[in-house]
Amino acid sequence: MFEPYLEILWGFAKAFLVGGSICMIAQIVINFTDLTAGKILVIFMLAGVVLQGLGLYQYLVDFAGAGATVPISGFGYLLANGAMRGTEKGFFGAFTGALSSASAGVSAAVIFSFLMGICFRSKTKKN
């Protein structure tokens, strides 16, 4: 009777543990290095690309679902996965496959950023 609910809770726990671990690693990098936020984002995105290129990130996605695909490393995984599937269509398929697999996420980011830019006024950060 409670098995479906326990399975759902287990899925949430796995996603939280993996996604939280990725974010914890990023926070440790922020706290103990002088890297800028942009450099850390690029490092994590490239880590997702490299891990998927080696075939390792897919295991994380299969285990944790959104816990592995929502962080920025999941975007790298998505690009690499699309490029690998696109190579079946030829050389240019690698480029178009990566772009088509990530187009929904990029489009959502651009649209919501635009809407937030209309709704709110930006201010400079004061140190």
Share of the chain above pLDDT 70, in %: 99
Span 85-110, average pLDDT:
85
Q: Is residue 126 part of a domain?
A: no
Q: Is residue 124 part of a domain?
A: no
Q: Is residue 72 part of a domain?
A: yes
Which segments of the chain does DSSP mark as H helices, in order? Answer: 3-32, 37-53, 57-64, 66-69, 72-86, 91-119
Q: Which residue has the higher pLDDT, 11 or 95?
A: 11
Q: Is residue 54 part of a domain?
A: yes
Q: What is the Cβ-side half-sphere exposure of residue 24, based on CA atoms within 13 angstroms?
A: 7
Q: Is residue 10 part of a domain?
A: yes
Distance of alpha carbon 6 from alpha carbon 79, whole angstroms: 33
Share of the chain above pLDDT 90, in %: 55
**What mean pLDDT, rounded, does the chain reach?**
90
Distance of alpha carbon 77 from alpha carbon 79, whole angstroms: 6
Domain hosting residue 44, numbered range: 3-119
Q: Is residue 68 part of a domain?
A: yes
Number of domains in the chain: 1
